[in-house]
Amino acid sequence: MAVLHVVCIDAARNLWHTIRLINGNWLPFGDVRDVVLRENPGSFNPAAFDEVDCAGVVNDLHVCLRSGSEVVHTIRRIKGSWFPFGDVLSAARAPRGVIFSVAATEVNGQLNLCAAIRTGSGELESTRHSLFLTIRASTGSWRQFEDLGGSFDDIACAEDGSQLHFCGITFDSKGVRQRALEHALRPSGGGPFTPFRDMRSVVLAENPGSFDPGSFDLVSCAGFAGELHACVISSGRLFHTVRRANGTWSPFDNVVDVVLEQNPGSPRPMPLEASVVTW
């Protein structure tokens, strides 16, 4: 896409969309629910929105949403019209459970959608927020959700070099692996994911003496020029690290400190509660 799409959720849990044009001008905000329902009478109508992620696939914008116990999908076509809201859980034959986070990216011309789902019922197990993956084909059909294991409260995914990268903040009710940052990837050409790795341990081992953020709250990531960039929130602070093309990691940088050092007089945003990295 040659323009920047911004999609956000307000305090009333409404969904908004705007575009930054190539010349730097911005288009007015549009209420996505109103537009989708107006253009597609009888479309499924989500009650409210809790989390959003989006991805450009070919020339269209795919918007994936967590809405209560639903995972919802719509598309803004390059000409500006919108698809009806779709129920991803039914289309991709998801297991019964509670949705905790969703993330989306494009890989090889297809939409890859990740979801953290607590499956099962009864007594809460220590780790039970499994990572599931589905892929939407260019025909519009959804592959059945694949259980990749793990246990996560917040997830992010990104494509780089036809590889699907996953980053997640762990969930563990007993605190053994609580709020750790993990990474896995599916190599280009498909095949199985690599095992989950503790990113903090890897970064600190590869960069002795570098800063240790401790535990983590939120994560976002994006692929750029052969590298994976991850931004994480830890106790209201924003950190950044890079997985280089050779598989090694850069140290964690405190983004606010670096920005202020390079731009004296810049405002200091803190504490931080969300991060988004995209291009």
Strand partners, 16: 8, 31
Half-sphere exposure of 77 (CA within 13 A, CB side): 9
- pTM recorded for the entire structure: 0.92
3-state helix/strand/coil string of 8-25: EECCCCCEEEEEECCCCC
213-241 pLDDT, tens digit per residue, is 999 999 999 998 889 999 999 999 999 99
pLDDT of residue 225: 86
Q: Do you find a cis peptide bond into 271, omega within 30 degrees of 0? A: yes
Q: So what's the pLDDT on residue 239?
A: 93
pLDDT at 279: 55
With a cut of 70, which residues of the chain have pLDDT below it? 1, 120-127, 275-279
Q: What would the pLDDT profile of 129-161 be if each residue is shown by its tens digit?
A: 899 999 999 999 999 999 999 999 999 999 998
Residue 27 in contact with residue 40, Cβ under 8 Å?
Answer: no
- Distance between CA atoms of 127 and 124, rounded to whole angstroms? 8
Please enumerate, as own/partner, the contacts of 202-206 that have beta carbons within 8 Å and a separation of 24 or more.
Answer: 202/249, 203/241, 203/249, 203/250, 203/251, 203/252, 206/248, 206/249
Order of strands across the sheet with 163-170?
152-160, 163-170, 181-186, 197-198
Beta-sheet strands, E only, within 108-151: 110-119, 129-136, 146-149
